[in-house]
Every structure is written in C-alpha cells, then in structure tokens.
Amino acid sequence: MKADLNASHRVLVDEPGLLLAQCRCCGEIELYFQNISMALNLTDLYALIRRLDTLSTAKRYLVGLLDVRDTMVRAGFQAIGMHLTEGERDQLLRGLHLACLRLDLDLLMRGRLSPN
C-alpha cells in the first residue's frame, strides 16, 4: 500500500497492507488495514491497542470493535468486528504501537499536543 503524500494528512505508518495517517486539521487517526478502514481519535486508538494487547494467544482472533468505545450508539466504526490471524494481529499491533511512538515523538520534538 503506497501512501499518497497529501498535505491534509501526515503519514505515521506505511507498510504493505497497513497505513496509518493523522489528519492535520482535526488530529483524527485513519487506519487502513487489509481492506478495513477506520477513523479513530486518540482515545479509541489507545483502546484498540489495549484490546489487541489483552487477547490471549490463539491461531485466529475475532476482535469486536463496538466494545472499544464507551457508547454503542456512537460506534463510529465501519465494521463490527475483525477476523485476524496471529500474524495479522501482530502486524496490526506493531503498526499501532509504531504510530503511537511517532505521535509521542512529534509531541516531544515540537512541543505541541494534537487537538484530538
């Protein structure tokens, strides 16, 4: 997957099958992974990472996304769940952790916090 270097988004992670970008105006994190697209704020991003981190070791995973948010009414996700293999879970989790590290580094280096 190749990132379109659009001025409206800052690319955080660009790997085959995985793209994470941050909107420059609102700070929202856009996740594109294996034909799934999601828009996450920082709270949702950290909740998804915690959810993936707490999964026990298995060959296949079903990750429910509606339970990542506090309220079911404002789900915000385009999918209710993701079916992942162990390798896909690891790839997604590595990408999410890398995106968080880059966000933290940006905060430290530029001394600014995203409005998200």
pLDDT along the chain (116 residues), means of 10: 63 92 87 86 86 84 62 48 86 93 80 58
- pTM listed for this prediction: 0.72
Give burial (CB, 10 Å; 0-12/13-18/19+) of 56: exposed
Cβ(75)–Cβ(66) under 8 Å?
yes
All residues at 6 or more sequence positions from 79 whose CB lies less than 8 Å from its CB, including other chains: 36, 38, 65
Contact 12, 20 (CB under 8 A): yes
